[in-house]
Amino acid sequence: MWEKDLIGKHTYDYHYLMKRWKMDALNVVDVDEHLIKLPIVLQDESRHIVELQFSGPITAPAVRVSSADTAKSEEIIDWVQNWLQWDRDLAEVAAHFVGSDLEQLFYAHAGTPIVKDTNLYYCLMKTIIHQQLNLKFAYTLTNRLVEAYGIFTDDVWFYPSPERIASLSYEDLRSMQFSQRKAEYVIDTSRLIVEGKLNLEQLSTQPDETIAKELIKIRGLGSWSAQNWMLSGLGRGDLLPAADIGIQKALKSYEDLPEKPTPASIHERGERWAPYRSYAAVTLWRSIET
């Protein structure tokens, strides 16, 4: 077992990170101990279980990273820092909104990070599954998929591989209460990955516009899906899913509007939030979470 302390240089609300991570019943979170246990799959496909234990105030946070896998310690540290976006200055983000229409929102929810999924493939599958479903049932379906086809090790679930999901029949997912179309989208997209027609790692290095253009070519993936994958999978900083009902509800509540703003009006306002529109989105979502 090895461990290493990472000292944060900027405000980072790790309490919110843990709250968001705990929303998924499959994730291992100990709120009292400020501890998260993560399943990590590195580029060589090796699987590792890593513990993150946070401490300190959010203005001067620290995280102790530990794992039993000593041979991959440096790669794991790099992965953790990338996942947390530990070097991104959230105070600089908040400063951008001083004097803007969202100033009070960023003051009330200081240091809100983008909470990323740990796996690009699973993030895409979750995005497909969550489309047009209420959050509770969406998590029910994703959890059924993981529990049926993932790998359970040391209290942690590793997500199913594209190869495992590509080998399924549509009826396998229909038996879990997936709709026919959603079953097709999940399995067919997995088959594209297995066949080498969709390379998520390669795609992740491209500009936002290129990623969106490639993803919406795939049956079952639209603009919302592409933006969600770039936000939750890649942690891109300047995305604004204006058609998202949550963002519309949050703005309506924040400004006490008589009705939800239109996507067009949100896009127009969002021009003033660039280049940190993703942080406007996640902070708006946070403002209405219970």
Active site residues: 244
Choose among 77, 55, 54: nearest CA to 67. 77
Strands (E), 56-204: 62-67, 151-153, 156-158
Strands 35-41 and 28-30: antiparallel
Cα separation, 31 vs 43, whole angstroms: 30
189 within 8 A of 221, measured Cβ to Cβ = yes
Task: Please give the structure tokens belonging to residue 15.
Answer: 């309490």
Angle between helices 245-254 and 277-288 (to 10 degrees): 70
28 within 8 A of 155, measured Cβ to Cβ = yes
Is there a cis peptide before residue 275, judged by omega within 30 degrees of 0?
yes
User: How far, CA to CA in Å, does 228 sit from each of 7, 72, 122, 165, 232?
Assistant: 29, 30, 12, 21, 6
Cα separation, 264 vs 247, whole angstroms: 13
21 within 8 A of 36, measured Cβ to Cβ = yes
What length does the chain have?
A: 290
Q: What single letter denotes the amino acid at residue 145?
A: L
Largest Cα–Cα distance in the chain? 58
